[in-house]
């Protein structure tokens, strides 16, 4: 099967069994969302608290303090002074690691909340009506309506466009907007 950008608009609409005037039905969209999953990039797996904790011991200053604790312990045992200084240094390092874990998990949860608040929305034609939905709910075959200034919410095949120019600098580095048309690209 040829990529959608290589096919005429009519063929693409036929493959998705969608009308450009009606869009998908809500039931079809729900079914496709279950099949294809949400319209989002795969997110990185969250680190466990144990991994974050042990990452706190990777900085050069912490390594130096661990070496100092080991040297202090050896000298303390050899001279019979005990391990008090060693335990104090280790306690400080553990408290520092716990604080680091708390700060990192707090920062991650704040970032997650910010991402949820700023979820982009898209206008989509479903059941013959233009409705607004969260962009992660877009599915293959949706008819998306774009207006001036909109962010392109997904990989799409244009079916209708008038003087459309897209700012692609984030993808290509080119600062001049690229003209787009509905013609199949060979």
Q: Note whether 103 and 72 are same-domain residues.
A: yes
Cα distances from 10 to residues 83, 112, 174, in angstroms, run 79, 40, 31
If DSSP states are collapsed to H, E and C, what string results for 118-130? CCCEEEEEECCEE
**In sequence order, what E strands does the chain have?**
121-126, 129-134, 143-145, 164-166, 178-180
CATH number assigned to the domain comprising residue 24: 2.70.150.10
pLDDT tens across 158-179, in order?
999 888 999 888 888 888 998 9
Q: Note whether 53 and 111 are same-domain residues.
A: yes
Of residues 103 and 5, more confidently modeled: 103
pLDDT tens across 97-152, in order?
999 999 999 998 888 877 776 678 899 999 999 999 999 999 999 999 999 888 88
Q: Note whether 60 and 110 are same-domain residues.
A: yes
Q: Which is it for strands 129-134 and 143-145: parallel, antiparallel or unpaired?
A: unpaired
152 lies in some domain: yes
Instruction: Give the total number of structural domains in the chain.
Output: 2
- On whether the CB atoms of residues 182 and 30 are closer than 8 A, the answer is no
> Which of 88, 117, 146 marks a domain boundary?
117
Q: If you average pLDDT over every residue of the chain, what do you get?
A: 90
Which residue range(s) make up the domain with 152?
Answer: 18-39+120-180
> Which of 117, 136, 171 marks a domain boundary?
117
Query: How crowded is residue 24: how many other Cβ atoms within 10 Å of its Cβ?
Result: 23
> Which of 92, 117, 142 marks a domain boundary?
117
Say what the pTM is.
0.62
pLDDT at 82: 85
8 lies in some domain: no
Q: Note whether 59 and 79 are same-domain residues.
A: yes
Q: Note whether 56 and 109 are same-domain residues.
A: yes
44 lies in some domain: no
């Amino acid at each position: 099967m040829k990529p959608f950008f290589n096919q005429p608009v009519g063929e693409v609409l036929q493959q998705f069994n969608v009308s450009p005037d009606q869009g998908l039905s809500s039931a079809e969209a729900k079914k496709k969302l279950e099949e294809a999953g949400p319209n989002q990039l795969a997110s990185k797996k969250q680190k466990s608290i144990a991994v974050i904790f042990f990452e706190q011991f990777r900085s050069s200053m912490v390594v130096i303090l661990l070496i100092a604790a080991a040297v202090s312990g050896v000298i303390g045992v050899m001279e019979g002074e005990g391990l008090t200084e060693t335990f104090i240094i280790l306690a400080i390092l553990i408290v520092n690691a716990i604080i680091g874990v708390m700060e990192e998990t707090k920062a991650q949860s704040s970032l997650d909340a910010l991402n949820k608040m700023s979820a982009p929305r898209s206008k989509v034609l479903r059941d013959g009506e233009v409705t607004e939905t969260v962009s992660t709910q877009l599915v293959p075959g949706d008819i998306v309506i774009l207006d001036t200034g909109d962010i392109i919410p997904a990989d799409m095949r244009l079916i209708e466009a008038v003087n459309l120019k897209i700012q692609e600098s984030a993808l290509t580095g080119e600062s001049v907007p690229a003209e787009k048309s509905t013609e199949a690209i060979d």
